[in-house]
């Protein structure tokens, strides 16, 4: 905090507003007193509005920097596994070796879901989109775990956090198995978080799935790289839902719903649909022309970011992993992956994309990696939800731990002014 002040003059009136400095990043002007002056600010899309104070994640989009609790994402991917990153996001510090072991064990002790949840799945059509099932079953967890719905009890919040982190991959894999018509596969607590997820996805009761270390590492990296990203649409949704004191499972379900859209978590699925539609390297120019054409709504999916106007640091890491996975699986010459690699190369050299600072984003590479691992298209956003659950939980926890008010945005009303109903005399 600083003594800096901003002055806003409206008509004859000058209003003084406090200015706060964070530990890094732009200063913010505190406009809360404006409502008393009969004024609101107008900022659709939150282009210039900080909706909360947070100590979890810092992003410098201009320079391609992403820090979790101060640690650069590159160092976390290099030195930590996903569960350790979960601990960091929740607690603010990396765990000691003892704390790390205990945290891993506690997460493992919550991987199973209540048996009744299996029956809940049967209410869905087999061809339902797995994100639709996820919205439903995660929200429904509040009906199964009544013992930790009290947001004001710190111990209950902690148990809810463990349950969410541990059960989300189990539910995600159940969504997949359900759509296939295969039996659900129980979690295996002797495996790592990423290995266990791949096991639950691809093992069957008659056949074990041997997890390749390269693929397990890629999966773990995808979980880490999607774990948190500040106040994005889904995290802001979770905070807003939480501000009404809704229970944690309902809040996370709201985050899943917000994540589903193609401008947010649905982008990796949209990337693969686009690559399939392009189909062949010879058609790349045609699609680039569509992307450049102002009269065509088509956008090159997996390119551009609201915050990163430089190479997204997560995309840089996954770019390398993507090449390793394709090599491990012998897929370098697969037609779709060739289109992806060629598209990346051409777009990076294209004037339209250079001028607008449109770089491949994390979804461009995660979509390709997950497809190569054998994850079906509709499951890609589900995997984003599995990874982002810890971010949502950490932000929800941070908000509840501090004093908070119910979120209640204002509006610029442009509708009709008061008029009489036609039947009124």
Residues that bind ligand CMC (CB under 6 A): 229, 232, 263-264, 267, 291, 299-306, 356, 358, 361, 363
State how far the Cα of 281 lies from the Cα of 98, in Å rounded to an integer: 52
Half-sphere exposure of 320 (CA within 13 A, CB side): 9
- Which is closer to ligand CMC, CB of 242 or CB of 266? 266
State how far the Cα of 199 lies from the Cα of 224, in Å rounded to an integer: 19
Is residue 247 within 8 A of residue 126, CB to CB? The reply is: no
Burial of 90 (0-12, 13-18, 19+ CB in 10 A): buried
Which among 424, 273, 394 has a CA at the least distance from the CA of 339? 273
Q: Please, what is the minimum distance in Å from the beta carbon of residue 189 to ligand CMC?
A: 31
Write the CA distances from 306 to 66, 347, 367, 393, 410, integer angstroms. 14, 18, 19, 23, 23
How far is residue 93 CA from its own chain's centroid? 21
State how far the Cα of 335 lies from the Cα of 317, in Å rounded to an integer: 23
- Which is closer to ligand CMC, CB of 4 or CB of 356? 356
Q: Please, what is the minimum distance in Å from the beta carbon of residue 47 to ligand CMC?
A: 9
What is the SS3 assignment for 107? helix
Q: Please, what is the minimum distance in Å from the beta carbon of residue 302 to ligand CMC?
A: 5
Out of 305, 312, 395, 397, the active site residue is 305
- Which is closer to ligand CMC, CB of 200 or CB of 300? 300
> Could you confirm whether 127 is annotated as catalytic?
no
Residue number closest to ligand CMC, CB atom: 304
State how far the Cα of 153 lies from the Cα of 149, in Å rounded to an integer: 9
Nearest-5° Cα angle at 400, 395 to 402: 100
State how far the Cα of 326 lies from the Cα of 367, in Å rounded to an integer: 12
- Which is closer to ligand CMC, CB of 254 or CB of 361? 361
Out of 228, 229, 363, 397, the active site residue is 363
Q: Please, what is the minimum distance in Å from the beta carbon of residue 304 to ligand CMC?
A: 2
Out of 199, 264, 395, 397, the active site residue is 264
Q: Please, what is the minimum distance in Å from the beta carbon of residue 63 to ligand CMC?
A: 17
Q: Please, what is the minimum distance in Å from the beta carbon of residue 266 to ligand CMC?
A: 8
Strand partners, 29: 19
> Could you confirm whether 363 is annotated as catalytic?
yes
- Which is closer to ligand CMC, CB of 21 or CB of 263? 263
> Could you confirm whether 119 is annotated as catalytic?
no
- Which is closer to ligand CMC, CB of 304 or CB of 313? 304
**Residues forming the active site:** 264, 305, 363
């Amino acid at each position: 905090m600083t003594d800096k002040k901003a002055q806003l003059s409206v008509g004859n009136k000058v209003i003084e507003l406090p200015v706060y400095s964070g530990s890094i990043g732009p200063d913010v002007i505190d406009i809360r007193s404006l409502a008393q002056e009969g004024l609101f600010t107008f900022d659709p899309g939150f282009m210039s509005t900080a909706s909360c104070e947070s100590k979890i994640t810092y992003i410098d989009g201009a320079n391609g920097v992403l820090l979790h609790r101060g640690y650069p994402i590159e160092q976390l991917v290099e030195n930590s596994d996903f569960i350790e990153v979960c601990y960091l996001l929740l607690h603010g510090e990396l765990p000691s070796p003892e704390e790390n072991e205990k945290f891993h064990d506690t997460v493992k002790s919550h991987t199973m879901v209540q048996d009744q949840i299996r029956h809940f799945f049967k209410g869905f059509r087999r061809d339902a989109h797995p994100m639709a099932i996820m919205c439903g079953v995660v929200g429904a967890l509040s009906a199964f775990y009544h013992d930790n719905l009290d947001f004001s009890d710190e111990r209950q919040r902690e148990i809810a956090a463990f349950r969410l982190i541990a059960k989300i991959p189990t539910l995600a894999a159940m969504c997949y198995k359900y759509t296939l018509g295969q039996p659900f596969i129980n979690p295996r607590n002797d495996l790592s978080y990423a290995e266990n997820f791949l096991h639950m996805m691809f093992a069957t009761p008659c056949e074990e799935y041997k997890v390749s270390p390269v693929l397990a590492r890629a999966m773990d990296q995808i979980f880490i790289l999607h774990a948190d990203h500040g106040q994005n649409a889904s995290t802001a949704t979770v905070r807003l839902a939480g501000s009404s004191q809704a229970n944690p499972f309902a809040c996370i379900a709201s985050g899943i719903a917000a994540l589903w859209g193609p401008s947010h978590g649905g982008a990796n699925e949209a990337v693969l649909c686009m690559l399939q539609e392009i189909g062949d390297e010879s058609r790349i120019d045609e699609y680039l022309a569509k992307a450049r054409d102002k009269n065509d709504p088509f956008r090159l999916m997996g390119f551009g970011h609201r915050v990163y106007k430089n190479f997204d640091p997560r995309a840089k890491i996954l770019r390398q992993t993507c090449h390793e996975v394709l090599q491990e699986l012998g897929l370098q010459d697969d037609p779709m992956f060739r289109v992806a690699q060629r598209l990346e190369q051409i777009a990076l050299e294209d004037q339209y994309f250079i001028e607008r600072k449109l770089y491949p984003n994390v979804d461009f590479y995660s979509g390709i990696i997950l497809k190569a691992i054998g994850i079906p298209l509709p499951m890609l956003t589900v995997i984003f939800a599995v990874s982002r659950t810890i971010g949502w939980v950490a932000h929800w926890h941070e908000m509840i731990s501090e004093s908070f008010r119910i979120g209640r945005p204002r509006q610029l009303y442009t509708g009709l002014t008061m008029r009489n109903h036609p039947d009124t005399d």
